[in-house]
Structure 1
Amino acid sequence: MPTESRNLPRLMAVAHALGPLRDQVVFVGGATVNLYSTATGPTPEPRTTDDVDCIVEVAPLSAFHRLEEELRLLGFTNDTEAKFIGRWKAPNGLTVDIIPTQPILGFSNEWYPAGFVHAVPYRLPDATTIRILSSPYFLATKLVALRNRGWQDLWISQDLEDIVHVVDNRPALMQEVADAELSVRTYISQQLTELFGRPELLDVVEGVLPPGSGYERKYEVGRRLRQLINSSI
């Protein structure tokens, strides 16, 4: 079961700040990692993130601008120091990235559109319900991010760390991927197959597992990753 991650208060605070817009977004990214933990007993604390990411299905650009006005009415302000225009400051000071599923701002993730469609509800500890990516689409979006910003050096990839955390703490993941749409199954299989071509992979896995996990744990995670390849075919 999920632990009381330090990311949970951020998620709850942002969910409340979004108010009536909460049902229009899907929460994604590192802040949601712990929500996928379903292993029996407490799970390790995932990495703490500095921001909360949400995706929203708005197009064309004029529709996104209308959404921006709604955010401002709720007290959100543009983060003028950010490198892209989708970053906001919530009224409570938290950083929130609002990312359209389509690349109308010049960037996106190829699995955001389908992930948005297949999003699932999640009840937070304070009884607030948000939507998050289903586990196969979370995995696919993280594999895209790994390819785009962490492939050159797996040792420093936060996306690989998130992937390992979910694989290690969600026993049903293999079946959930096997039951997913063919396109996302195929993508997961292809990317994980390439990942296993990296000779350092299992050593990196061992490095991101919590201290005290035991030497054999990395092989269990490796076995599950290979199961994902097979379940995705």
Structure 2
Amino acid sequence: MCRWRHGQLTIDVMPVDETILGFSNRWYKGVIATAQIYVLEPDLRIRAVSAPYFCATKIEAFKGRGNGDYLCSQDLEDLVTVIDGRREILAEIRTAPKDVRAAIASAIAQLLENPSFVDAIPGYLPPDPVSQERFGIVFEKLREIAVVV
């Protein structure tokens, strides 16, 4: 819905104004305010969401449209992918604004209390044996995030 291609570049764009698509996410304004600038080429710069705000938007999206379907949630898959793929995610969440940090920690704690979520985690990881062996690492990262204050 909000994805475009420009040459080989894939761009996801989300409007902040709820009236444009009929829905919004409480974190979008903070995403815009804290977007990080990356220089891809000398004449090509992009603004990208920070990892903590990305996590917060994915959690909020799951709450709004996930219908409790842990197995098929693209939002939770994206969340777990970022948590698994960023060594610095704990430090990033710890230094995020307090409201973002608290929302992520609380939501992750609630997710971890639900056996259906825990059972779904391997499905968010790539199917190869090495990736599947990362379950314990991902689970421990999630536990650490759940107690961030």
Given the two structures, how large is their TM-score scaled by the length of structure 1? 0.56
- What pairs with 1:186-225 in structure 2 (closer than 5 Å)? 186-210=102-126, 211-213=128-130, 215-225=132-142
| 1:128 alignment partner, one of 38, 44, 62 | 44
| Counterpart Cα distance in 1 of 2:133 and 2:50 | 29
- Preserved contact between residue 125 and residue 132 of structure 2 (Cα < 8 Å): no
- Provide closer, same or farther for how the CA distance between residues 207 and 117 of structure 1 changes in structure 2, counting only shifts above 3 A: same
| Counterpart Cα distance in 2 of 1:187 and 1:228 | 11
- What pairs with 1:39-118 in structure 2 (closer than 5 Å)? 52-55=11-14, 99=15, 101-105=16-20, 106-118=22-34
- Preserved contact between residue 125 and residue 131 of structure 2 (Cα < 8 Å): no
Structure 2 unaligned blocks of 5 or more: none
- Preserved contact between residue 66 and residue 73 of structure 2 (Cα < 8 Å): yes
* Offset at residue 216 of structure 1 (A): 3.8
| 1:148 alignment partner, one of 42, 54, 64 | 64
2:132 maps to 1:173: no
| Counterpart Cα distance in 2 of 1:212 and 1:125 | 36
- Provide closer, same or farther for how the CA distance between residues 135 and 215 of structure 1 changes in structure 2, counting only shifts above 3 A: closer
* Offset at residue 119 of structure 1 (A): 0.4
- Provide closer, same or farther for how the CA distance between residues 206 and 13 of structure 1 changes in structure 2, counting only shifts above 3 A: same
The secondary structure found in structure 2 opposite 1:203 is helix
| Counterpart Cα distance in 2 of 1:103 and 1:166 | 26
Given the two structures, how large is their TM-score scaled by the length of structure 2? 0.85
The secondary structure found in structure 2 opposite 1:110 is coil
Structure 1 unaligned blocks of 5 or more: 1-8, 16-30, 32-51, 56-98
Which amino acid letter does the alignment assign opposite residue 134 of structure 1? S
Q: Deviations over 1:183-232 (max 9, x none)?
A: 1011111111111121022321111211223554212101101111222x
The secondary structure found in structure 2 opposite 1:104 is helix
| 1:182 alignment partner, one of 78, 95, 98 | 98
Which amino acid letter does the alignment assign opposite residue 130 of structure 1? I
- Provide closer, same or farther for how the CA distance between residues 169 and 125 of structure 1 changes in structure 2, counting only shifts above 3 A: farther
Kindly tell me the number of residue pairs found equivalent between the two proteins.
Answer: 144
Residue in structure 1 matched with residue 55 of structure 2 by the alignment: 139
Question: Between the two proteins, what is the percent identity of the paired residues?
Answer: 35
* Offset at residue 131 of structure 1 (A): 0.5
Which amino acid letter does the alignment assign opposite residue 53 of structure 1? D
